[in-house]
Chain A
Amino acid sequence: MKIYATRSSRILDAAINIVMILTILTCLVPFIYILALSLSSPRAIVNNEVFLLPKDINVESYKQIFTYPNFFTAYGNTLQYTIFGTAISLFLMVLFAYPLSKSWLIGNRPLMKLVVFSMFFTGGLIPNYLLISYLHLTNTRWAMLIPFAINPFNLILLINFFRSMPVELEDAALIDGLDYFGILTKIILPLSSAGLATVGLYTAVFFWNDWFNGLIYLKSSQFPVMLFLRNIVNGTSMVGDAAGAADKSTIGISIKGAVIIVTTLPIIAIYPFLQKYFVKGVMIGSIKG
């Protein structure tokens, strides 16, 4: 389509570009600022000299968080929860989504209703909490993994994804003597990398970012790193223990910054690679039904 560059059109373009540049800045500046804080010396932070560039660059706060045994444990816990949580989640969701994608299968409709209803009405905090403790999952790592294995939104996204696969593929495989397990593992899954990547990313991000369930279900040696960060921010957990009392708060600032950067980096790092998948994923998921 050809657009004639009239004067009003040019003004519109200029206005849009300004808005968009401001958007980019508001999204990026907080990270740049925190990065600058994490790399600055306590002295520069005390004197309010840090803006968007680090002052007296040093990596002291990074060195320091790596000496905390707690931090390593928490980071390792989060890695565990993310890897196993995503694996369990994908396994269960694929198992459910594949049969549910066959709308001709008897029993499909009531099961779909079951799934959709659980998106709008949930058990609530207390019944869930009591269930987890009744099942003796509290203080075990399973409490982080099992209760959130299936997210109904992601499940429906995956169902829609499987539905978009050509039926002919399956028919041909059935004629060639493959059973449904075989079709799923040998044909559908290898072709579903986009769908699996999308749902996998959402799930991984969920497990990576989760802290509340750690707070109510786990003991401190099992805490995920986000809970570690939250405790630092809350002042529940001590930071900068080697420093004198006066220095503590300012050292704390750059340490907080360093923890923020280190815990967010993995997501920012994988995000651009998976971006092209999940935009498509969201669009498939946004189709109603």
Chain B
Amino acid sequence: MAKDKMISKHKFNKKYFMKYWQLYAMMVLPLLYFIIFKYLPMFGNVLAFRRYRPGMSPFGTEWVGLRYFRLFFKDPAFWNAFKNTLVLSLLNLVINFPIPIIFALLLNEIRNRFFKKAVQTISYMPRFISTVVVIAMCGEILSPSSGIVNIIRMHLGKEPIYFMNLPEWFRMIYILLDTWQFTGWTAIIYLAAISGISPDMYEAATIDGANRFQQIISITIPTIMPTIMVMLILNVGRLLSLGFEKILLMYTPTNSGVSDIIDTLVYRVGLANQNYSYATAIGLFSGIIGIILVTSSNTLSRRITGESIY
């Protein structure tokens, strides 16, 4: 039965509702959830323009206009956090965006099915581990007194390094942990795209004398380009929202110069210092930049490659 055609035929009236009331009834609870827990906080962002006093309405007490925005624009802590966020996420994008693609391409070339399966299973696993555990393990491995890395360094006659505390190591550790945790997982999406490529294309290329490397370059990569673009748009949109919890766990007073990002600033200003309106303004600002980044990269991608996520 072609139900899709019924859209135009039907009007929403009592008869229609009586026929499908159960479907509508099912949606009541989840819809309430969305309104309360997803949309109400969005409206709660008006706090950025209103002064909040504890104990008062959650939407603040009086309008103060752009006061908080002006405040944080003058705040060097904000600009430092903004810079750190941008540097860290751009580095992360440049390094951790291509790695899963390369990994998927290589994985696809493994001919032994059992080995391929084993690599896949093991490489997804870190995705399921809690950030707390990841940081705790990292702390143990890189510990200056007992960590295996520094023990090896000492055996080689080098001084131990307090990796987790030094600002110059912070970015590299953050990015490598992301590589470790998400490469296998993200590669699934590319592998799915690769597995959809018709074998005929490869056969034709083999007959034409293309070697495997040439096949990767001229068949596999062009065919998965739409997937790559969609993933790129999504990543660009998330540029300002880094792994906040991970950074919070890696944060030490010593590395704060590079580890303070917008989200940790919001956390500190808002929850620790209870400066709710000020923190909301910063949060709203980065949320809006995120939206602008998604929409503009989406539009750009649609114009250039014809691919878009909506």
Contacts and interface: CB of A to CB of B under 8 A. Distances in A.
A209 B126 CA distance: 12
A127 B38 CA distance: 10
Contacts of A120: 237, 290-291, 294
Contacts of B10: 106
Contact of A286 (B24, B26, B180, B192): B192
Contact of A125 (B1, B145, B199, B271): B271
A180 interface: yes
Interface residues of A, number: 99
Chain B interface mostly helix, strand, loop or mixed?
helix
Interface residues of B, number: 102
Q: Which of A126, A271, A272 has the most CB of B within 10 A?
A: A126
A206 to B, nearest CB: 10
Contacts of B29: 92, 95
A46 B143 CA distance: 12
B192 A282 contact: yes
Interface in B140-189: 140-141, 143, 145-146, 148, 151, 154, 180, 183-184, 188-189
B94 interface: no
A282 B189 contact: yes
A197 interface: no
A118 B34 contact: yes
A180 B37 contact: no
A124 B31 contact: no
Contacts of A50: 146, 148
A99 interface: yes
B283 A124 contact: yes
A23 B123 contact: yes
Nearest to A98: B26
B256 to A, nearest CB: 15
22 contacts: A3-B206, A8-B211, A20-B115, A23-B183, A27-B126, A33-B140, A48-B146, A48-B151, A92-B33, A100-B27, A102-B3, A102-B23, A106-B10, A107-B24, A121-B291, A122-B41, A126-B276, A126-B280, A129-B270, A229-B136, A271-B125, A279-B188
Contacts of A23: 103, 119, 122-123, 183-184
Interface string B107-136: 101110001001111111110111111011
Contact of A256 (B58, B140, B212): B140
B69 to A, nearest CB: 14
A95 B28 CA distance: 9
